[in-house]
Amino acid sequence: MRKSLVETTTGNVINVIEIEPDDVGAYDHWQCPDGCELRDAEDSGPGWSWDGQSFLPPVITEATRLDVLMSEGPATQVYDEATDEMLDRPAEDIAADKAELLGLLQTKSAESGDLTWEQMNKLLALERES
């Protein structure tokens, strides 16, 4: 039988296991790790959560433009399918991406002040460049 291994303090499903009950229908023969409990798996899996009554799927957020620019940085090259080569991007396009990233970081800082360490370092570097 499929069982979800749930952290009791957070409700996070950390694993799904296959376990068979013993002769009397109990699961006592398998020692659940400290701080965890077993629940019928239903359709859950790692990344899901247990709210005490039912399983909830993971929340998938779409990457924002800030996320993309922070993870990839302003691309200096682009792939050209026609020639199957990497081509240098024009300096104006790279500068526009940097300006956009700077603006996004400044806006986030002004609105919430909640920048990650990486975002703050990028903001300071871009401000020094401009």
pLDDT confidence bin for 13, thresholds 50/70/90: very high
- C-alpha of 81 from chain center: 30
pLDDT of residue 73: 75
Count: domains in the chain: 2
Q: Are residues 83 and 42 in the same domain?
A: no
43-57 mean pLDDT: 91
Q: Are residues 13 and 43 in the same domain?
A: yes
Over 90: is that where the pLDDT of 113 sits?
no
Compare 99 and 75 and report the one with higher pLDDT. 99
- Would you say 42 and 14 are in contact if contact means Cβ atoms under 8 Å apart? no
Q: What's the domain range around 73?
A: 65-129
**Sign of the C-alpha dihedral, residues 115, 117, 119, 123?**
positive
Q: Are residues 73 and 42 in the same domain?
A: no
5 CB neighbour count, 10 Å cutoff: 19
